[in-house]
């Protein structure tokens, strides 16, 4: 399982997705800000939902401008590159950005996610790539974001499979943020995150 963490290697690997470290961290920051927007008066799941919703919005604002497409196949919210066949899904994480341990999603993964990962598994390696990449069989990459106070970690990773509603191993992991690398953001600051796309997070 390749674990890519050195900044120059990360930059090289992200070229596959026509993006860079800073662009993905802007999405992470957007998600963290949205999570902090939840109040005690909101439903218990609000913080996680805000983080997921704005993380997904950030993905789409970034990648649709690069020619990717919005997809909701099998109710999996994603962005899809029709040229390479890649998909990226935003995922709140219980653990991410750990060099020694695989990421863990907060939510359980249903049969649609398991099917998508299974169908896309063979598409990672060029020698077994099909002549025509069907969208349903696209490689599904996940942008994992772990946010526990100011301990924020993130990675873009390619799972092997989903078993018992959990990710079961990874073929590729691109580490974006490890423990201690997050500088933190002031969740009481009304300034918008430093993004190149127009996204508003309403402050309470």
First to last CA, the chain: 43
pLDDT at 42: 96
Q: How far is CA 6 from CA 2, 88, 99, 144, in A?
A: 12, 21, 11, 18
Three-state SS for 99?
A: coil
CATH code assigned at 164 = 3.40.600
At what angle are helices 21-36 and 46-64 packed, to 10 degrees?
Answer: 150
Residue 10 inside a domain? The answer is: yes
Structure tokens at 202: 């309403």
Residue 81 lies in a domain: yes
- How many structural domains compose the chain? 1
Residue 104 located in a structural domain: yes
Strands (E), the chain: 3-4, 69-71, 78-80, 87-95, 104-105, 140-148, 151-159, 162-163, 166-167, 170-177
- Residue 84 burial (CB count, 10 A): 16
pLDDT digits over 41-97, tens only?
Answer: 999 999 999 999 999 999 999 999 999 999 998 888 999 999 988 999 999 999 999
Task: Specify the pLDDT at position 177.
Answer: 96
**What is the domain extent for residue 172?**
3-177
| Domain contains 197 | no
Q: Is 98 inside any structural domain?
A: yes
Residue 42 in domain: yes
Q: Is the pTM here over 0.95, yes or no?
A: no
Indicate whether 202 belongs to any domain.
no
Average pLDDT for the chain: 83
Query: Does the residue 12 lie in any domain?
Result: yes
The backbone torsions φ and ψ at residue 153, rounded to the nearest 5 degrees and listed phi first, read -135, 155
């Amino acid at each position: 399982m390749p674990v890519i963490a050195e900044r120059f290697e990360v930059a090289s690997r992200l070229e596959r997705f026509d993006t860079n470290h800073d662009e993905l961290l802007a999405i992470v920051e957007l998600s963290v800000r949205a999570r902090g927007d939840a109040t005690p008066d909101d439903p218990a799941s609000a913080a996680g939902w805000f983080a997921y919703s704005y993380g997904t919005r950030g993905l789409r604002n970034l990648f649709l401008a690069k020619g990717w497409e919005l997809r909701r196949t099998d109710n999996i919210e994603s962005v899809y590159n029709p040229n390479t066949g890649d998909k990226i899904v935003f995922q709140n994480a219980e653990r991410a950005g750990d060099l020694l341990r695989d990421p863990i999603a907060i939510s359980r993964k249903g049969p649609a996610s398991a099917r998508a990962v299974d169908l896309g598994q063979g598409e990672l390696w060029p020698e077994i790539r099909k002549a025509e990449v069907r969208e349903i069989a696209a490689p599904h990459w996940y942008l994992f974001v772990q946010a526990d106070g100011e301990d924020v970690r993130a990675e873009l990773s390619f799972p092997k499979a989903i078993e018992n509603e959990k990710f079961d191993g990874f073929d590729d992991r691109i580490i974006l943020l490890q423990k201690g690398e997050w500088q933190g953001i002031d969740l009481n600051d009304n300034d918008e995150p430093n993004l190149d796309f127009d996204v508003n997070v309403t402050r309470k």
